[in-house]
Amino acid sequence: MTILGVDLKWPSFWGLTQAVAFAVALWLALTVSPLGASSTVGAGANLAAILVGCVSNEVGIQVRKGGRHLLLNVTLCALVLLAYRLAASAFTN
């Protein structure tokens, strides 16, 4: 599959598992640091953005390969964060 001239690949199970494990470890390290988010919604948004970054690399969206990859990564991250924000606002006051 090709989006914006970027060839995407189907990730392997182990590659996807490693990407998610790395994302969760990175999120935990960020959460316990003083730079971490102060709210639950902010921490969830951080996890969503980190997951998109790690999994998109496994799918074939690699930012170091140029502007199209960067545009696709930023767009995907924005869509995931928008969906997360809408879901979070639906379940909070």
Mean of the per-residue pLDDT values for the chain? Answer: 88
- Percent of the chain past pLDDT 70, that is, above it, reads 95
| Residue 93 pLDDT grade (very low, low, confident, very high; cuts 50, 70, 90) | low
Domain that holds residue 50: 2-91
The number of domains in the chain is 1
Rg (CA), the chain: 14
pLDDT at 78 over 90: yes
Considering Cα of 10, then 12, then 15, then 20, what sign does the dihedral take?
A: positive
Tens digits of per-residue pLDDT, 20-55? 999 999 988 888 877 766 677 788 888 899 999 999
**Residue 37 dihedral angles phi and psi, to the nearest 5°:** -70, 145
- Amino acid 13 reads F
- 86 touches 48 (CB < 8 A): no
- Is residue 2 pLDDT above 90, yes or no? no
Please, is 56 exposed, middle or buried when counting C-beta atoms within 10 Å of its C-beta (0-12, 13-18, 19+)? buried
| pLDDT value at residue 31 | 82
